[in-house]
Amino acid sequence: MTRFLLLLGAAGLLLAAGCRKNDSYDPSQPLADFARRNSVASQAFTLPLGQDQTIKTAAGATLTFPANGFLLPTGQVATGTAQVRVREIYSVPDMVLADMPTNMAWRGNMLISGGEFNIQVWQGATRLRLGSGLAVVTQSPIPAAQDTTRQYVWEKPTNFVALDSTGWLQNNFERVRSLPGLYRTLLPLDSIGWWNIDQFWGAYATSARTPVTVKTTATAPGETHVYLRPVGFNGLARLWPATAANLITDWQTVMPGGTEMIAVVLQSINGQLYYGTQHVTIRSGLVVSPVMAAVSETEAVRLIRQL
């Protein structure tokens, strides 16, 4: 399996500003605020803790929670009722709006997603976790573009801030079963912020990888997100700065040669949003410079929805 894993350059630590923090606001990251306003909404459900309970999400996933399975921070079993908060992402536009790409950890290969999930259980202001050995049975709709390649469960731990908190780690707790129109798996919901049902993209095994550079306008003050999405596949790769300079203009990754991609750039400069895309075929030495246009927030969301 390690043959699929590509580590780009030295596997260093991310700057603290690059780490994702749940429900926090950082004025130096205007695109994080954009994501909070425009990404998928959190759905809330009441959960009786003393009995098995199944809920159905807006997109048609079902989550079955075990009776008496949730623990307080003290380790005691929680009683009464709790609130389940669910966010679910099944499409590339929603990945862009939420800034939830499908890179493997340490800026690695792109995964093809069968669905991203954030499932939290709260009792008042206290977050609960499942006891050891317990899991939430999850059945979720298979995205239309997904093929029959084997799916695995990946995780983005909330405490994984010392390394690449924007990447996914494979979880060995449970593999994914394919049912007619559905994926079925078990999620232990311990300290995990996000879950992802993913497959390895076969293009990495059949085509030689080649570096890709996307050039953008420097943002000072401001912020830039740069992505590549594979045409016809439900995945999204986040690109990272080629240098550690303050005014970043070059963003790099590697991709399988011959594949069709769409470069996506979203910027906020002095409070103004800019957006641009470019359809490309990956080849050796490719440098992409999408034409950027000033857009309103409403227009940015509309254009992202067209990806």
Q: What are the chain's domains?
A: 2-31+39-200 (2.60.220.30), 207-304 (2.60.40)
Task: Give how far Cα 292 sits from Cα of 53, 149, 164, 280, Å.
Answer: 48, 36, 28, 16
pLDDT class of 244 with cuts at 50, 70, 90: low
Q: Provide DSSP, 213-230.
A: EEE----TTEEEEEEEEE
Helix ranges (DSSP H) in the chain = 30-38, 92-98, 203-206, 297-304
For tokens 């004025």, the residue is: 27
Residue 77: DSSP 8-state: B
| Partner residues linked to 274 by β-bridges | 267, 294
Q: What phi and psi values does residue 34 have, to the nearest 5 degrees? A: -55, -45
Between the two ends of the chain, the Cα-to-Cα distance in Å is 30
Q: In the predicted model, is pLDDT for residue 163 greater than 80?
A: no
Q: In the prediction, which pLDDT does 171 show?
A: 84
267-271 average pLDDT score: 92
Which H or E run contains 265?
A: strand 260-269
Which H or E run contains 88?
A: strand 81-89
pLDDT class of 206 with cuts at 50, 70, 90: very high
Give pLDDT tens digits for 77-102: 999 999 999 999 999 999 999 999 99
User: Which runs of E-coded beta strand occur in 124-190?
Assistant: 126-130, 136-141, 152-157, 169-170, 177-179, 182-187
Q: In the prediction, which pLDDT does 292 show?
A: 96
For tokens 């995945």, the residue is: 235
Q: In the prediction, which pLDDT does 27 show?
A: 54
The answer to whether 65 and 135 have CB atoms below 8 angstroms apart is: no
Give pLDDT tens digits for 22-60: 334 455 679 999 999 999 999 999 999 999 999 999 999
261-283 average pLDDT score: 96
* Burial class of 101 by CB neighbour count within 10 A (0 to 12, 13 to 18, 19+): buried
As a whole number of Å, the CA-based R_g of the chain is 20
Q: What phi and psi values does residue 211 have, to the nearest 5 degrees? A: -65, 145
